[in-house]
Amino acid sequence: MSESDPTTGEPSPVRKIIHIDMDAFYASVEQRDNPELRGKPVAVGGSAERGVVAAASYEARKFGVRSAMPSVTAKRQCPDLIFVRPRFEVYKAISRQIRDIFAEHTPVIEPLSLDEAYLDVTENLQGIPLARDIALEIRAKIKAETGLTASAGISYNKFLAKLASDHRKPNGQFVISPEMGPAFVEPLPVGKFHGIGPATAAKMNALGLFTGRDIRNQSLEFMNANFGKSGAYYYWISRGVDERPVRANRIRKSVGAENTFSTDLDAFDALAAELRPLVDKVWRHCEATGNRGRTVTLKIKFADFEIITRSRSVAAAVAGRDDLERLACGLLEAEMPLPKRVRLLGVSLSSLHAAGESEPQLTLGI
Ligand SMILES: [Mg+2]
């Protein structure tokens, strides 16, 4: 691996990245707060017929229950499954607690969700030399302060740190050193790579790429030609190389709303009517925060759970609620007639900038 400082040509020091991930977070919180749920298969999420599982306890996972699984399927897999309503306020409060613990060690924290974050501890506030010791301390503090367990992955880049945190779950940690990195990726099925979703994995399989090794055997040109902008990322991660920095205080990149219908729909008018409350919700958020954006994305989930997204970017920030609705409806109209009935629609606005932050403007020269 040829990491070097572009200004001096000196080899840059190996980075120390920790990926912390709470174990079965929502489900563990519910089991913590309700002793009757301990040791039992628990699913947090909609118990309604059309809901999906947001999180499953380890007891439920033994039955194959997974997050994003329709509740009906989950119940079939595990008839004794106990459904619990999510309590996001509680999860958010714990999330703040664990971030405060991270912040005792480094300001360079990139949260991925309420229960997951990357930390760059190459230089850390307490001068602890080994990242694995920092991870041990953080996990012990999380346990002491929240009663919950977390797992950690420690490596020299984000991609491998995230893989590593899965390796000793739950309540464990694992180090992938620079010497181990490339070999660790080689046998891995491409679908396990963070950033490779089911559609990309299927495309890779169709091209004969099943593991990290298979990607590694391809040229950069081949990967670029087949995977566009992501080709280079896949090419490099298959070699255990990932130069993406840990981005502290990452700003929220989009605001969105979605809704699952009580019955599947396919008529334009009915779908357009369903868009309106979503547009209202997104716009209310924009007004409350002062955020504005210029990319509108429509998400359509079909009855068979296939999801498509369609986006449109406009030159200047979307100015008002009605503009947002017009753009979202336009995206929907372009998809008519739909090939299948629709179970969910989502609308989001991205390329956000905050209130007062000027957007790129055309200025008139004098
Ligand atoms: Mg987690």
**Ordered structural domains, the chain, with CATH:** 9-178 (3.30.70.270), 188-237 (1.10.150.20), 254-354 (3.30.1490.100)
Per residue of the chain (366 residues), what is the pLDDT tens digit? 444 555 555 556 799 999 999 999 999 999 999 999 999 999 998 776 668 898 999 999 999 999 889 999 999 999 999 999 999 889 989 999 999 999 999 989 999 889 999 999 999 999 999 999 999 999 999 999 999 999 999 999 999 999 999 999 999 999 999 999 999 999 999 999 988 888 999 999 999 999 999 999 999 999 999 999 899 999 999 999 999 999 886 555 678 898 999 999 999 999 999 999 999 999 988 877 677 888 899 999 999 888 898 999 888 889 899 999 999 999 999 999 999 999 999 999 987 665 444 444 333 434
Q: Which residues are annotated as a binding site for Mg(2+)?
A: 21, 115
Q: Which residues are annotated as a binding site?
A: 21, 115
Neighbouring C-beta atoms of residue 336, cutoff 10 Å? 10
Q: How far is the CA of 65 from the centre of ligand 1 (A)?
A: 15
**Residues designated as active site:** 116
* Rounded-to-integer distance, Cα 301 and Cα 344, Å: 5
**17-22 and 150-155: which strand pairing?**
antiparallel
Nearest to 350 by CA among 309, 312, 293: 293
Residue 348 bridge partners (DSSP)? 256, 297
Q: How far is the CA of 22 from the centre of ligand 1 (A)?
A: 4
pLDDT at 361: 37
Q: How far is the CA of 5 from the centre of ligand 1 (A)?
A: 34
Exposed, middle or buried, 303 (CB in 10 Å: 0-12/13-18/19+)?
middle
**Surrounding residues of ion ligand 1, Cβ less than 5 A:** 21-22, 25, 115
pLDDT at 13: 73
Residue 160 identity = L
Supply 85's token pair. Answer: 């309503």
Q: How far is the CA of 151 from the centre of ligand 1 (A)?
A: 8
Q: How far is the CA of 64 from the centre of ligand 1 (A)?
A: 17
pLDDT at 287: 79
Q: How far is the CA of 357 from the centre of ligand 1 (A)?
A: 34
